[in-house]
Amino acid sequence: MKKFFLAPSILSADFARLGKDTKKVIDAGGDWIHFDVMDNHYVPNLTMGPMILKSLRDYNITVPIDVHLMVKPVDNLIPQFAKAGANFITFHPEATDHVDRTLNLIKENGCKAGLAFNPSTSLNFLDYVMHKLDLILLMSVNPGFSSQSFLPSTFNKLREVSKKIELNSSNILLEVDGGVKLDNIAEIAFSGANVFVIGSALFGHTNYDIIIKKIREELKYVNSRFIH
C-alpha cells in the first residue's frame, strides 16, 4: 500500500492558541505540521519565524515539522530554522543564486531538503538536483495566502514529477500545497502526490477528527484502486 502523509498547515490555525490548536490537529490524525514562512518580499504576506517554531517544540509538538521557506534570500534562515526544530526545509529555486549550494546547506544543518515549485516555475531545475532531494513540493495555488482554489494545471505537473521520481528509482516525497480538500484529494493522490498540505479545508471546521477521518477514507479508496 502507498503511504500517504497529511500535513496540516498551521497558517490557517488559531494563532491566539497556536500550541493547543496544533496539538489538537495532531491528536486528530495529522502526520506532520506544515510551517509556512513568508517575508512580504518573495511573496505578498508576512507570517512566522524561527521563534514560533521553537515555541511549538517547547510545547511538546514532536511530529515532523515541514518548513516551507517563501523568502528571498533564503540561506541565512536555514540554520535558524534547523536549530529551532525543523525536520524538512523546502525553498524555491528563484530564492537562491545556487540551488545546489542551498540544498547542501540544509543537509549540513541536519534536515531533509526539499525544492518547491510555483505554478509557473519550470520543472527543469529538477534535472540537476534530483539526487539531493528528499521532497518536491508543487504549489497548486500562487503562494501568499490561504483559502485559494486548486489550480487544475497542477495535475499534469504532478504526473510529470511522479514519472521523474519513478525513473530515478528514488524515495523522494511528492507534496502538494494549496486548495487541497476532501473533494479533490483522491484525484491529487491518483496523480502521484503522497504528502498533502491541508489548511482552511481542515482548520475551517470545529471537529478536526471528522474531517481527517473522511480524508483517510478517500485515501484508503485510492490505495484500494492501486492494489487492484
Q: In what order do the strands lie in the sheet with 5-8?
A: 5-8, 195-198, 173-177, 135-139, 112-117, 88-91, 65-70, 33-38
- Which pLDDT does position 146 carry in this prediction? 67
Q: At what angle do helices 18-27 and 50-58 cross, to 10 degrees?
A: 60
Quick one: cell of 95?
A: 530564492
Q: Is the pLDDT of residue 204 over 80?
A: yes
Q: Mean pLDDT lowest for which of 116-125, 146-155, 216-225?
A: 146-155
Q: At what angle do helices 208-227 and 18-27 cross, to 10 degrees?
A: 40
Q: Mean pLDDT lowest for which of 13-17, 141-145, 156-160, 221-225?
A: 141-145
Q: Which of 161, 225, 167 is nearest to 193 (CA)?
A: 161
- Which pLDDT does position 225 carry in this prediction? 83
Q: Mean pLDDT lowest for which of 39-53, 59-73, 85-99, 142-156?
A: 142-156
- Which pLDDT does position 72 carry in this prediction? 96
Residue 134's Cβ-count burial label (10 Å; 0-12, 13-18, 19+) is: buried
> Residue range 115-119: average pLDDT?
96
Q: What are the tens digits of pLDDT across the range 63-99?
A: 999 999 999 999 999 999 999 999 999 999 999 999 9
d(CA 151, CA 155): 8
Catalytic residues, by residue number, are: 36, 177
Q: What are phi and psi of 115, to 5 degrees?
A: -120, 130
- Which pLDDT does position 142 carry in this prediction? 87
What's the mean pLDDT when you consider all of the chain? 94
Quick one: cell of 217?
A: 477514507
- Which pLDDT does position 179 carry in this prediction? 93
- For residue 170, name the pLDDT band (cuts at 50, 70, 90): confident
Q: Is the pLDDT of residue 103 over 90?
A: yes
- Tell the residue number behind the cell numbers 496539538, with chain if given: 23
Instruction: Tell me the Ramachandran region of residue 29: left when phi exceeds 0, alpha when psi lies from -120 to 50, beta otherwise.
Output: left
Q: Is the pLDDT of residue 228 over 80?
A: no
